Chains A and B, each alone.
Chain A
Amino acid sequence: MPLHTKKPRSPTSVSPGGSPGAILLGQTCLHQGPGQKTSLSVLEGMGFRVGQALGERLPQETLAFREELDVLKFLCKDLWVAVFQKQMDSLRTNHQGTYVLQDNSFPLLIRMASGPQYLEEAPKFLAFTCGLLRGTLSTLGIKSLVTASVASLPTCKFQVVIQKT
């Protein structure tokens, strides 16, 4: 299951302009080789299984979801609160199956120095969460591809692309 869709051309993580560009999960894979890629996949797989279970337990008392946007709102509110004790900060969509969820102070990254210093380490912490989102969506009947990107810690964006079958 691919964790990223774009492969960046240069291995450096910061663009020359001084302001850090967005880091996709694949970038660190280019750095550290195939072992890193496998472990990120394993993490994502674990997150997927946990997400499947949460997708069963959390909506148990809620009414059935009427449409996709309701499911995404459920992810941003109920799932995030259950796992991280806070809500997602923003949800944007292009109404054509792509959603961007933004968290301005992601709890798994908050303990690291803010800014671009640890951008390379971030994917390890995001892989599990991507799997979590994908698993919950899969239980609720939505097939998707989830990628994460970090511009500067601790803000991170999760991009959810719904796969139409």
Chain B
Amino acid sequence: MAVCVAVIAKENYPLYIRSAPTENELKFHYMVHTSLDVVDEKISAMGKALVDQRELYLGLLYPTEDYKVYGYVTNSKVKFVMVVDSSNTALRDNEIRSMFRKLHNSYTDVMCNPFYNPGDRIQSRAFDSMVTSMMIQVC
């Protein structure tokens, strides 16, 4: 379902980025990069309003390619960006939310690992396998 998953640090550099079909990786990287601007916009817009666990639904960034990009921001300003292929049935909101919750839990586990230095790229195998499980469901 998810075609590309990225974890972006507070300072807007990627901590983890992975795409499912390994061709056209650059296209996904670029998509994630452009979505960061929209994420920042939404964060500052919601600054004073009643803030909720924000979910960012952008719709189709590139109408020709039929992808949807979702975003999620944690309390520590770490952003998760997920690109899904919407050629199959549109995923329900709940499913996206649960995928982000799993991402958040795994990221928290990575943070709590005393051998992980905050700010490094994420190389945890557990995190990798969790992301793989989210991406494999297509076939």
> Count the B residues whose beta carbon is within 8 Å of the partner chain — how many?
19
With the chains together, A53 CA to B118 CA distance in Å?
Answer: 9
Q: How far is the CB of A163 from chain B (nearest CB, A)?
A: 16
Which of A49, A60, A65, A66 is packed against the most chain B CB atoms within 10 Å? A60
Give the chain A neighbours of B111 by CB distance below 8 A. Answer: 52-53, 56-57
With the chains together, A64 CA to B73 CA distance in Å?
Answer: 9
A contacts with B: majority SS: helix
Cβ–Cβ contact B76 & A64, under 8 A = no
With the chains together, A140 CA to B118 CA distance in Å?
Answer: 13
Give the chain A neighbours of B108 by CB distance below 8 A. Answer: 56-57, 60
Q: How far is the CB of A19 from chain B (nearest CB, A)?
A: 42
Q: Which of A55, A64, A139 contacts B54 (CB 8 A)?
A: A64
Q: Which of B10, B53, B77, B114 contacts A63 (CB 8 A)?
A: B53
Cβ–Cβ contact A57 & B112, under 8 A = yes
Interface, chain A (partner B; CB < 8 A): 49, 52-53, 55-57, 59-60, 62-66, 139-141
